[in-house]
Amino acid sequence: MQALTDEETLIVAIATSTCFLYRLASRTSTARVSHEDLVAYVDHLIRIYSIKPDAKYESENARDMRGAVEFCIEQLREVAADQATKLACILKPT
């Protein structure tokens, strides 16, 4: 199993938080996440997953990179379907 670097771990943590906050922002006026920030972090998540799909990633919401991607898909499904679809495509076997 590959390990994430400290920088990659931080990026994945921020990406999953951004997915969560984007969903939250769609329901409240207090949370603010720009679509551009969301797209950037989804792209970072895709890049890291494509390099280290089996890497361990421990958080409240995921145990590995696949779990982090699945968490973001679930968060974005109703509020940013295009980004959820981008993420879902990387999980499909080729």
Please report, for the chain, the start and end positions of each structural domain, with discontinuous segments joined by +.
6-91
Global confidence as pTM: 0.90
User: Which pLDDT band, with edges at 50, 70 and 90, does 1 fall under?
Assistant: confident
SS3 10: helix
Element (H, E) at 61: none
Is the pLDDT at 62 greater than 90? The verdict is no
Structure tokens that stand for 59 in this block? 């958080």
**Positive/negative CA dihedral, 9, 15, 20, 21:** positive
Which pLDDT score is estimated for 28? 78
Which whole number is the average pLDDT over 14-34?
Answer: 88
